């Protein structure tokens, strides 16, 4: 348990996630904001409960962290272009984010963080899994760390969001846009976090294609090992959504996975993504 003059925080699991209580994120004092900033960068993903915030307050909270990165693929909330809708209707079978990934790793300057607010929830199911890439890197052997040192990997969004990508061929396809805006980027496999300096594993099953200078076939075995390693139970946590819940994760040092186990029920989340900085 972590405490300060105004808030208390409890780990969700031993290796991943922190749930913060005792604050109203729509009315944070400067000292509360600094406490939350410190905990966010330390833990990589933080959660809040019982937050009755409006879309305007969601946007204002995000702006306290940086410039909002307007999503070019997700359906936008009609009134608020800053807010992307993560929606699954009752009749749909495919959800958004139903596999391990980190947001925007395919961008030249990947996003810093994502703030997800629960708006409509199923009566059961719809949890989100998270994995801590600080812990995943630190759990590698010295030999593997040396192997990865200096490697870079190619990330692309084409297989997910392109004209022939995954979502276009599902019952989510009509809601997606921007298939002509797909692209790729190259990033270090092990990054030094821009805020903390800590090393984190920076590949992910959703968008990493292959190591730079390697073929996809040559990369497959090592990437598969890293993906299995990174999702070991000791590096992960599971967040159960309730009305008023908010998750805020750092895309540089976490993965997440939206569990698709609520067919026949609607789930609507509002997501704002915050721009980041180049990775080293």
Q: In degrees, to the nearest 5, what angle opens at C-alpha 104 toward C-alphas 93 and 228?
A: 70
How high is the pLDDT of residue 169?
87
Beta carbons within 10 angstroms of residue 197's beta carbon: 7
> Residue 39: which pLDDT band, with cuts at 50, 70 and 90?
very high
> Residue 175: which pLDDT band, with cuts at 50, 70 and 90?
confident
Which residues carry out catalysis? 101, 103, 256, 271
Exposure b/e, 118-149, CB count within 10 A at least 16 = b: bbebbeeebebbbbbbbbbbebbeeeeeeebe
CATH of domain 53-274: 3.60.130.10
| Domains in the chain: boundaries | 53-274
Q: Are the C-beta atoms of 18 and 47 separated by less than 8 Å?
A: yes
- Contacts of residue 242, defined as CB under 8 A and 6 or more positions apart, other chains included, come to 49, 118, 121
Place of tokens 């070991």: 232
DSSP at 164: T
Q: Distance between terminal CA atoms of the chain?
A: 33
pLDDT above 70 (res 3): no
């Amino acid at each position: 348990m972590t405490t300060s003059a105004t808030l208390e925080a409890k780990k969700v699991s031993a290796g991943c996630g922190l749930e913060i209580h005792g604050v109203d994120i729509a009315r944070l004092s400067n000292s509360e904001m600094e406490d939350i900033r410190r905990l966010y960068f330390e833990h990589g993903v933080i959660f809040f409960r019982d937050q009755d915030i409006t879309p305007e307050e969601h946007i204002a909270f995000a702006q306290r962290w940086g410039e909002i990165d307007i999503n070019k693929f997700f359906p936008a909330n009609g009134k608020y272009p800053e807010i992307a809708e993560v929606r699954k209707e009752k009749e749909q079978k495919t959800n958004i984010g139903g596999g391990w990934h980190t947001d925007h790793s395919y961008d030249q300057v990947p996003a810093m963080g994502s703030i997800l607010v629960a708006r409509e929830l199923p009566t059961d199911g719809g949890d989100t899994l998270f994995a801590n890439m600080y812990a995943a890197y630190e759990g590698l052997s010295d030999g593997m760390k040396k192997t990865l040192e200096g490697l870079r990997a190619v990330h692309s969004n084409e297989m997910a969001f392109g004209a022939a990508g995954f979502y276009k061929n599902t019952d989510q396809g009509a809601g997606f846009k921007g298939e002509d805006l797909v692209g790729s980027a190259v990033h270090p496999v092990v990054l030094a976090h821009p805020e903390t300096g800590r090393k984190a594993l920076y590949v992910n099953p959703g968008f990493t294609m292959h190591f730079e200078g390697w073929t996809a076939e040559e990369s497959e075995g090592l990437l598969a090992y890293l993906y299995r390693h990174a999702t070991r139970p000791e590096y992960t946590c599971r967040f159960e959504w309730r009305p008023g819940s908010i998750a805020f994760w750092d895309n540089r040092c976490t993965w997440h996975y939206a569990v698709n186990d609520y067919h026949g029920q609607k789930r609507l989340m509002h997501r704002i993504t915050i721009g980041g900085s180049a990775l080293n």
